Every structure is written in C-alpha cells, then in structure tokens.
Amino acid sequence: MSRAREIDDFLKFVQNECRGRNITITPEIIYGTLSNYGFNAEEIKIHCDNLFPLWIDRYKNSTNLRVFQTEKQPHFVQFENGRTSDSKHLKLYVSLSPNAYYEGANIIFDFIDRNNMKTASKVADQIRSDEIVLRMESTYDAEKLIEFINSNKYLVENARTTNPFLNREGVVGIGYDDLLSYNTTLSYFISDYLNKANNPGYDDFVNYMNNKYINLFQNQLELNEFTHTDLFNSTLARLKRGFGMINNPELYAINNYRIVFASILNNVYEDSYKNLYGFMNESKEIYTKMAHVDKYQLLNEFIRFAYNKYNQDINILIKILSEYSNGNVNAITRDEGYREKFIYNINPNKIMDMTGNDLVSYVNTIANNSVGYQNTVYFDETQELDKPQDFNIFIEGLRETYIKYGDNQILGSFEKLLNGDFTVITNGEFGYRKYFTSKYDTNTLASLARQYLDTIVNGRTINLDTGFNQAVLDILKSDYGFTNGRTR
C-alpha cells in the first residue's frame, strides 16, 4: 500500500472514530494515534522502562556513547555522542516488535558506538511507532546508518511500520525537526484540517497543507494568528530558556516552523528524503546568522557605517532607526548585509530599550565617538571587548548555572573563573562550558573572565560589606535579569 493511501485511510479513520464518539479532534488525539500506528491495543500497553538500567549499564564503559536519563524527558533514555546544540540533525525513526525491542536497539547503538557517530538519540519506555529516535548530525552517518538497518536481517524481520506522514527508506522513517517536534507540529495541523474537512482524504489534505504554507510563510496572512497559539508560544518559551544567545527568538521560531513545515510537505508529497538535507543546511545557516551576534555591537557598527553613508547627517540616521523601531525593516540599507543582520538579530520593538529610550542621544553619542556608547553593558568605557561575540555566551552560561544551582554555586564561581577555571559553568543544552574550554587555554580564559567581569561591574563601587562576588551577582540580577535560581 502506498503512503498516500495510508494517509488517506488514517485521516478518514480518525475523523470517523471521533465523530462517531462525539469527541473533539485535538492535536493530542492525533499525536497518540500517530504514536500507536501499527500496534494493537495490547502491544501499546507494554512498558519498557525496566530496560533503561540495562542500557545504561551496557554502555557505561563505552568510549563514545553516553547513556542516561533526564528529568526533562523521563519517558526516554538518552544515547548521546558529542552532541552540540547548534548542530542540526536528521531524524530517523525505527519501530520494532516488542520482543525485539531490547536486542534491536543494542544492534543499532552498537553500530553507532563502533563507528563513533555523532548523535543525540533516545529510546522510549513504551512500545510505539517512534520508539527509537535516531538524531544524526552527519548526513554521511545518517546514510550509513539507514543502509545498515535495512541490511540487517534481524532488524528488518522485526520492524514495524512507522507512521505514513514520515518519509521512508526501507524500514526507517525519516523526518527533520530542529528544535521543534516533527510529530507535534504535524499533529497540530492534522487536527486543524480534520476539524474543518467535510470529506477528508489525501489529495484534500495536500491542498490544505500547501495553502497553509503559503498563508503562513509566504503571504503571511495567517502568521500573526499562528504566533498567538499555545503551540507557538510553548516553543518560544522553550527557545528563550535554552537558547539565550538568539537575539530574535520569535523570528527564529518562525523560521523553524517554516523549515519543519516544508519537510512535512516534502514527506507527504513522497519526495526524496534526501531533500531534507537541504533543510538541515538551511537551518544551520539561519542559526549561524542569529546566534553569537552581539546586538549592541551590531547596532553601534551600523550607526557608524550609516553616519558616513548618509554624509554624516544625524537626522537621517535617527529617522532610519525610528522607522525600523516602528516595524519598517526596509528602512535599513541592504549594504554590507545590514538589513538581514537587523532582521535576524534586533527585534524592532527592542530598539528603544537598547538605546535607553533616548534614540537621539544614543545616535549622537555613537556617531561622534569611535570608542562606543558608554552605557551599553557589552562594552567597557575605554576599550572594546576582546572576543565580544563570546560575552553573550559567557552571560548565558552564568544564567543557566544560576538557574540550575542557585546563589551558592554562582557566588563561588567568580574567583575560579578569574583563574581560568570554566568548569564551574554548566554545559546546559547549548554546551556553554565546552564552548569555552574547547576554544581557549587557561590563560586566555582567565584574561577573558577578568575582562567580562569588569564589564559587568562597569566601574561601579563595590560594597566592602558584601564583597565582589555578591556585587557581581546583584548586578546580574538587576541588569541582566537573572531569576529562578535555586538556593541550595
């Protein structure tokens, strides 16, 4: 049976079942049906969390794989090798019969371990159509793994089908989702479609998805409404928590949905799964443009550039930034790529905040002072920061450390940082600690820490009663919005 026919049957089945029982079709119902696809009622009751300790023990001495559980995803055991949060991964799904679950997963992860493949994978505690999720960083490794799975007799003979909205290569289902969930996004739009469709079917669903893509991401007639949904806002909140170095999280989330939506369309159209590699590359390119950029430095650079471009006419420059702050992105010149840089990194409604609600004074100061605006937290009064792109990451690493460990941990970290010991900073989802320790030696780290901490203090008088460490923490709370730390 073709996947188009499977999709047609799936859509009709869900609508008939829900209408027959007078049940509202929700994304949760769709997600559950997708997860259970191919299994009977008795099989989906099988829980496999008793296997988690076995996998953790099996790979405890592995030189490549780290196997563990996290509070964030208690229903999965994680298999990771060299994961970095700025890596984008192709997502492979494997579904196996219950009696082959443990041994089948061993075969797959032994192969990944043997070949030292970079991965951020997970295995579920319950039998489902996406029970083994393999996120592969390298497209070469993804191809090699797909070929291996489809050539392994045990895996092929014990494989169950993945849901029909995924691409398929042999027994492997394939999708792409970046920081989103492919199936969660898909479930949202399937439920929206089924609640509106009189006679659901494959062709009608394809037309719906195509029109939805146009209205969301091309003419954007429905984009504003979508950005106010619970789905979008939950993604945005997660993005802000885990990716503090993204200066325009709303736009980054929109781009993620656009790319994931395009990958869903690709799979529904039954186009080649290799087209998903293009989505991976596009996502990497967008991330590079939006992460690690110091928005204050970008604003200051633009002011100096535009001041000379417009014959040192301050009024023109003030008008340009004022128009941008009101939402006219075309006010920024395309020269030197500034318009794209602004769109990706400076939210228009943040311009006034960045300039202290005094755009005129700010522009005058920067345009006539080659050193930089003395009130921005990213620059010292007399000297630009060394490696300023790392300052944001330093702040976000401290923020994540504070969120995870509270006052005591952060208060004890500053002296160690000044000695070049960055092990006191948590890795977090972004890999903050690894980012610094893999790039710089101890002496360089000590130098950067001194400079960055001096910048945070910014020439303020330190209260001798509380001391330097408490003063830095107080400033991080007041000026950088550090909250939610736990006091241990």
pLDDT for 163: 95
Answer whether residue 395 shows pLDDT above 70: yes
pLDDT for 430: 67
Token readout for 441 is 């030696």
- Band (pLDDT 50/70/90 cuts) for residue 380 is very low
Q: Please spell the DSSP secondary structure of 46-106, one letter per residue.
A: -B-GGGHHHHHHHTTT-SS-EEE--SS-TTEEEEEES--TT---EEEEEEE-GGGHHHHHH
Answer whether residue 400 shows pLDDT above 50: yes
pLDDT for 84: 56
3-class state of residue 311 by DSSP: coil
pLDDT for 462: 59
pLDDT for 384: 45
Domain range list for the chain:
3-37+181-290, 43-160, 295-367, 389-480
DSSP letter at 231? H
Q: Which amino acid is at 137?
A: E
Q: Which residue has the tokens 């990958």?
A: 263
CB contact set of 162 (below 8 Å; sequence gap of 6+): 37, 38, 93, 94, 95, 129, 130, 168, 172, 173
Token readout for 81 is 């090798």
pLDDT tens figures, 126-174: 888 889 999 998 899 999 999 999 999 999 999 999 999 999 999 999 9
Whole-angstrom distance, CA of residue 189 vs CA of residue 24: 14
Closest to 24 in 3D by CA, of 37, 34, 15, 33? 15
3-class state of residue 126 by DSSP: strand
Please state the rounded mean pLDDT for residues 416-423.
88
pLDDT tens figures, 32-60: 999 999 898 899 889 888 999 999 999 99
CB contact set of 272 (below 8 Å; sequence gap of 6+): 167
CB contact set of 300 (below 8 Å; sequence gap of 6+): 366, 372, 373, 376, 379
Q: Lowest-confidence range among 51-65, 211-225, 467-481? A: 467-481
pLDDT for 390: 77
Answer whether 317's CB lies under 8 Å from 306's CB: yes
Whole-angstrom distance, CA of residue 224 vs CA of residue 434: 37
pLDDT for 388: 59
Please state the rounded mean pLDDT for residues 199-213.
96
- Band (pLDDT 50/70/90 cuts) for residue 322 is very high
pLDDT for 486: 44
Token readout for 319 is 């008008």
Average pLDDT, the chain: 86
- Band (pLDDT 50/70/90 cuts) for residue 452 is confident
Per-residue b/e over 451-488, b at no fewer than 16 CB within 10 Å?
Answer: bbbebbeeeeeeeeeeeebebbbebbeeebebeebeee
pLDDT tens figures, 227-285: 999 999 999 888 877 676 677 889 999 999 999 999 999 999 989 999 999 998 888 88
Q: Which amino acid is at 26?
A: T
> What sign for the dihedral angle of Cα 85, 87, 88, 89?
negative
Whole-angstrom distance, CA of residue 90 vs CA of residue 161: 19
Answer whether residue 100 shows pLDDT above 90: yes
Whole-angstrom distance, CA of residue 84 vs CA of residue 86: 6
CB contact set of 416 (below 8 Å; sequence gap of 6+): 423, 424
pTM: 0.68
Closest to 383 in 3D by CA, of 477, 319, 326, 459? 459
- Band (pLDDT 50/70/90 cuts) for residue 387 is low
Whole-angstrom distance, CA of residue 265 vs CA of residue 175: 11
pLDDT for 463: 58
- Band (pLDDT 50/70/90 cuts) for residue 415 is confident
pLDDT tens figures, 55-65: 999 999 998 99
Answer whether residue 485 shows pLDDT above 80: no
Between 138 and 379, whose confidence is greater?
138
